[in-house]
Amino acid sequence: MVNNIFLDKYNPKRDVQYALTQSIKASLQHNPTYSKDIDMFLKTEFRDYWKMRLQQIGGCFLEVRDLNFYLDQVVVFSTEMNSKYFQILNPNKENYDNGFRIAHSQKSISVYLKHLWCMDVIPAPPCCPLDRIISERAGVLLPVSWTKMNRISDVEFALNLFQELAARQNKSLCQWELELF
């Protein structure tokens, strides 16, 4: 039921392509990414590649995976995007690391997996999107804002903390986050 409420609001057509767009949009919102004066062709190429990689990563979750597998995917994806596109990922924003941060990787992967799970394409993922909304609703102040996360240990810390809160309610992490969201 809660899955349908989420989809009715964020993906009413239950469309995978729309889920990809929403996942990237969620990752970029409030999270500086691009260099100034980026060429639109490069920006389009970058986003198309991002969508393709999210689809590949989503395919890895057609079977049940654990948190360590998810964390590995986040690191590999961030590293790969930096290697391939670092020249356009330099926002020079104060207090942010340049590049495709762990923050971009975790948010886009997590949101995409959330959409796939709510559409019954994959089993429940071992993660949830980390962001200000969930932190505030959970009453948790994370040591590092989700937009500034660039160490996988920050993501792991937050997910473990949220997992403890979910377990207190006898819920999976993704179900807990979905209901809280």
Q: Residue ranges per domain, the chain?
A: 2-180
Specify the pTM. Answer: 0.95
**pLDDT at residue 74 in the model:** 98
Q: What tens digit of pLDDT does each residue of 86-125 get? A: 888 876 666 677 789 999 999 999 999 999 999 999 999 9
Is pLDDT above 80 for 174?
yes
pLDDT reported for residue 94: 66
pLDDT in the model for residue 166: 97
The pLDDT assigned to 17 comes to 97
Query: Helix crossing, 2-10 with 173-180: angle to 10°?
Result: 60
pLDDT of residue 34: 73
Q: Which residue has the higher pLDDT, 38 or 62?
A: 62
Which residue in this structure is represented by tokens 């995978």?
16
* Residue-wise pLDDT tens digits, 141-171: 999 999 899 999 999 999 999 999 999 999 9
φ, ψ for residue 108, nearest 5 deg: -70, -40
